[in-house]
Amino acid sequence: MSEAVLEVEWLGRIEYGLAWEHQKALAAERAASPHLPDKLLLLEHPHTYTLGRSGRFQHLLLDEASLAGRGISLYQVDRGGDITYHGPGQLVGYPILNLKRLHARRGLRTPDLHLYLRELEEVIIQVLAEFGLAGWRYQKYTGVWVSTAAGPRKIAAIGIRVTSRGITYHGFALNVAPDLSYFAGIIPCGIQEHGVTSMLELTGRPLAVAGLLPSLTAAFSRVLGLEAAVVAGPLKEIGNVVH
């Protein structure tokens, strides 16, 4: 099997803890067996807040009773970044990549984490462009932003972890058509001066997360230099995502 193969799997809507454990298991497998192909998990979560390694609990604005009343789960996790929201209508991607191998193909002696973050941003920017939206990078903050009449708004959050063996997990979350009111329960990514938005809010078009899977898979393969030749799970039924 070519080392440049990317296995893509659509998990549908899955509880955050289960997806996290699945990521760690896949990462451990790839650390033990470096020949295994890279993988991209695509999914949605039920309503969830996650707090990264550099997160502050004061950026969570709801108490335990309020979380329970709204059916929101809370996880303190091992990715970078502060607090963020995941929920229905948001396309979440968890790349499980051998970053050492990936970047060695480009002549890099060690994995470049900053390059990897910029690559994930570029994937989202290319997907947004297909829907007539101009995403851009904000020098101060990781993620993808758009310009609105009310100023810059974040449309995609990124938080990653790279193990000592150079295996990535966690990833990105693109706001396709989530209920944005859930972001009011936190200070998203600890950024107080700017809000968040979604593709639905910007385009006014009804959008389904599954409808973005072909575009996202193609952009990810293109930017990372991988070939999505193995597609697992119900993603096969959505259309031809191999480019």
Instruction: Output the pTM of the full model.
Output: 0.93
pLDDT tens track, the chain, 243 positions: 456 899 999 999 999 999 999 999 999 999 999 999 999 999 999 999 999 988 888 999 999 999 999 999 999 999 988 999 999 999 999 999 999 999 998 889 889 999 999 999 999 999 999 999 999 999 889 999 999 999 999 999 999 999 999 999 999 999 999 999 999 999 988 888 899 999 999 999 989 999 999 999 999 999 999 998 655 554 444 433 332
Active site residues: 189
3-state secondary structure the chain: CCCCEEEEEEEEECCHHHHHHHHHHHHHHHHHCCCCCEEEEEEECCCEEEECCCCCHHHECCCHHHHHHHCCEEEECCCCCCEEEECCCEEEEEEECEHHHHHHCCCCCCCCHHHHHHHHHHHHHHHHHHCCCCCEEECCEEEEEEEECCEEEEEEEEEEEECCCCEEEEEEEEECCCCHHHHHHECHHHCCCCEECCHHHHHCCCCCHHHHHHHHHHHHHHHHCCEEEEEEHHHHHCCCCCC
Which CATH fold would you assign to the domain 5-118+160-194+208-237? BirA Bifunctional Protein; domain 2 (3.30.930)
